[in-house]
Structure 1
Amino acid sequence: MTMTSEQAAWFAGTFEKLVANVGQAVLGKAHVIRLTFTAMLAEGHVLFEDAPGTGKTSLARALAATVQGSNSRIQFTPDLLPSDVTGVTIYDQKTQKFEFHKGPIFSNIVLADEINRASPKTQSALLEVMEESRVTVDGTTYEAGRPFMVLATQNPIEQAGTYRLPEAQLDRFLIKTSIGYPDHASTVQLLGGTNLKDRSRDLQPVITTQAVADMADLAATTHVDTAVLEYISRLCEETRNAPETRLGVSVRGALAMVRAAKVWAAGQGRNFVLPDDIKDLAGVVWTHRLVMDPEAEFSGATAEAVLGRVLADVAAPQQRAAV
């Protein structure tokens, strides 16, 4: 069943209310907030590559407050253990039974701060929950709930004492973007409100977590024409055939684009996806999935340049079938 025009209009109105509400805490970053909500409603995760102090923690808190959800923050360090993330089973002498104590991963919004500072073993503790929204500990599986989203951060400048994120984990992030510093007007507004230490505390919820799950289910019914699916497939194939890349966009990356494009289109009041939606999202959804050839990278080739050339070379479909 495809989303109706009336449902698309309701979705777009609610989407804008969510963005505006978070925008009261994270000033001047409406586009980044839209991308983050797109990831949430596509049931994906976001990787922020940003310098410290750009508002990533405020964004996570504001998201949770807006959807009446829980949030947690995990500071990734070299000595962090997988059980510190997922939780641990402890033997209770009173009841003489083993009890599972949930870790901070069991929240609606999880901020994984400086994720690349933890060891690969600890980073791998996130693979299952990011892909399947569940955690398996000592043979028992626990559901993470809905919505569930990981907002991970890494500092692009500070590389000492960090571990490169494996490609398998990068591929599980729906979107990679950055918040960046606010513009001049937003900075002045922030400086003028120094008495408001945490703007997210004053936010009123817009919808419930159940409503978020319902919106995600509704967004999944957005129509994607076969011509658009073929366009996505051709783009992915071209990134794999590019001489500068070792690995192009995977099938998981193509599926991620379809999910994100459905939400992006619905957020604009449409019940169908356009090729322009793919172009709008290609940079944030696909760039981090490209593995560049070392020699080409040394010569100055970048994932952004490869993706830009592919988008220019592959012709977008001009017509769509009626919904």
Structure 2
Amino acid sequence: MLKSTLSALGGRPRAFDGVLDQAGGIILGKDHEIRLAITCLLANGHLLIEDLPGMGKTTLAHTLARLLGLQFSRIQFTSDLLPADITGVSIFERDKSEFRFLPGPVFAQLVLADEINRATPKTQSALLEAMEEGQVTAEGQTRQLPTPFFVIATQNPAHQIGTFPLPESQLDRFLMRLELGYPDRAAERALLTAGGQRARAEQLPPMLKAEDLPALQKEAAAMHTAGPLIDYVQALVEATRHNPAFQHGLSPRAGLALLAAARAWAWLAGRDMVLPDDVQAVLPAVARHRLRSAQGGGYAQDEDIAALIRSVAIP
């Protein structure tokens, strides 16, 4: 069944060629970041995008939802948002003399948690169970979320007014953290000439069907991972625990996340096995938000992660 599904889609890596091309035509000059975002989805993870306002974070989420054929929902996080505004609420129907549950916006296949750090930690925590277990427990009853279920959260830098820091437990639910950054000169010129890309994103045709994604995610998770490759991942994780550049090292769950992301990256590249290059390609996005710099306590710096990669020998 899996082979027939992939064949109908046109082959393993080819299934996403159109997605990458079309998304690259909307989010200009950010092909690497788009590939990482799709890798995160293939690895069955969730994505945190942190950057200044106006950098294309929301447009990227809209674009992926359209191209992947996913049911889309957007939650605008504000300081007065309540957990029930996310998960849903029960209302009493007088004519039936019973309560009926009204699902919240979290009941969608791709949920955009926009400016997540503008809500209080209590409200942010409403996403914890959904992101970890794929379900929501409200008023004593557990309800399953749609499949696939993918959260893209955006947040503004912590120094901006009206933001609350994400708890470490919430950060750890995100498989990857990305920064889009400013476009290069050519990409920005094209953007200025076109007059913005949001309207184009809304008109994109689906390149995949949502029901096909679980099979593709299973294919990516089944990528061959040799023993020496696992040794390399373990050595990287272990090295973070003894590196003076970081306050603390990566957890075992972070090691699992790194392996899952490396498998999905290798799958997307059309390979049959995971290579050390795949691990190195995804390590910054997987580890940056999980490691705290020993100087200042902020996110780990790219140069520290690059030095970590150089310090660990490939088996």
Q: Contact 1:88–1:103 (CA<8 Å) still a contact in 2?
A: yes
Secondary structure, counterpart of 1:10 in structure 2: coil
The answer (yes or no) to whether the contact 2:27–2:56 under 8 Å persists in 1 is: yes
Q: Letter of the aligned partner of 1:192 in structure 2?
A: T
Check the 8 A contact 1:73/1:112 in 2, yes or no.
yes
The question of whether the paired residues in 2 share the 8 Å contact of 1:224 and 1:272 is answered with yes
Q: 1:255-294, aligned counterparts within 5 Å? A: 255-293=256-294
- How many angstroms does 1:187 deviate by? 2.2
TM-aligned CA distance change 1:303 to 1:25, over 3 Å:
closer
Are 1:311 and 2:309 counterparts? yes
Deviation string, structure 1 residues 53-82 (Cα, Å, up to 9, x no partner): 111221111111112111121111111100
Give 2:275's aligned amino acid.
Answer: L
Say whether 1:23 aligns with 2:16: no
Q: What amino acid sits opposite 2:204 in the alignment?
A: L
Partner of 1:228: 229
Q: Does the Cα contact within 8 Å between 2:147 and 2:214 map onto a contact in 1? A: yes
Q: Which moved more, 1:22-31 or 1:67-76?
A: 22-31
Distance in 2 between residues matched to 1:126 and 1:31, nearest whole Å: 27
TM-score computed with the length of structure 1 as normaliser: 0.90
Q: Is the 8 A contact 1:244 1:297 kept in 2?
A: no
Greater displacement, 50-59 / 193-202: 193-202
Q: CA deviation at 1:197?
A: 5.2
Deviation at 1:196, TM superposition (A): 6.3
- Residue matched to 1:297: 296
CA shift digits 1:224-279 (9 cap, x unpaired): 11111111111111111223333211111111111111110011110100011111
Secondary structure (helix, strand or coil) at the match of 1:142 reads strand
* C-alpha displacement of 1:316: 0.8
Amino acid aligned to 2:118: R
Cα deviation, residue 193, structure 1: 2.4
Are the counterparts in 2 of residues 16 and 267 from structure 1 also a CA contact under 8 Å? Answer: no
Aligned-partner residue type, residue 146 of structure 1 = T
Please tell me the root mean square deviation across aligned C-alpha atoms, in Å: 2.3
Task: State the alpha-carbon separation in 1 of the partners of residues 214 and 244 from structure 2.
Answer: 41
**Aligned sequence identity (%):** 43
- Counterpart of 1:103 in structure 2: which amino acid? G
| Structure 2 counterpart of 1:306, one-letter code | D
Alignment partner, residue 113 of structure 2: 112
- Of 35-44 and 93-102, the range deviating more from structure 2: 93-102
Letter aligned with residue 23 of structure 1: G
Q: Where does residue 203 of structure 2 map in the other structure?
A: 202
Letter in 2 for 1:236: V
CA shift, 1:141, in A, is: 1.4
Relative to the length of structure 2, the TM-score reads: 0.92
Mapping 1:49-88, distance limit 5 Å? 49-88=50-89
Partner in structure 2 of residue 176 of structure 1: 177
Match of 1:21, SS state, is helix
> What amino acid is the match of 1:110?
V
Equivalent AA in structure 1 for residue 50 of structure 2:
E
* Cα distance between partner residues in 1 of 2:126 and 2:133: 12
Q: After superposition, what is the alpha-carbon deviation per residue over 1:182-221, rounded to whole angstroms, capped at 9, x for unaligned?
A: 2222222222223865111221111100111111111111
Match of 1:321 in 2: none
Partner in structure 2 of residue 189 of structure 1:
190
Counterpart secondary structure, 2:247: strand
Q: Which runs of 5+ in 2 are unaligned?
A: none
CA deviation after TM superposition for structure 1 residue 156, in Å: 1.5
Distance 1:77 1:21, change over 3 A: same
Aligned to 1:320: none
Q: How many residues align?
A: 311
Counterparts of 2:25 and 2:102 in 1: how far apart (Å)? Answer: 35
User: Is 2:94 the partner of 1:96?
Assistant: no
For 1:265 and 1:278, locate their aligned partners in 2 and report how far apart those are by CA, in whole Å. Answer: 9
1-structure distance, mates of 2:87, 2:120: 15
Partner amino acid for 1:297? G
Write the letter of the residue equivalent to 1:212. L
Q: Residues 278 and 195 of structure 1: is their aligned pair in 2 closer, same or farther, counting only changes over 3 Å?
A: closer
Distance 2:141 2:122 in 1: 20
Distance 2:299 2:32 in 1: 27
Shift of 1:303: 4.1
CA distance in 2, matches of 1:55, 1:292: 27
**Residue 34 of structure 1, CA deviation:** 0.7
AA aligned to 2:284 is G
Contact 2:158 2:165 in 1 (8 A): no
Q: For residues 183 and 209 of structure 1, what CA distance do their matches in structure 2 show?
A: 33
Give the equivalent residue in structure 2 for 1:250.
Answer: 251
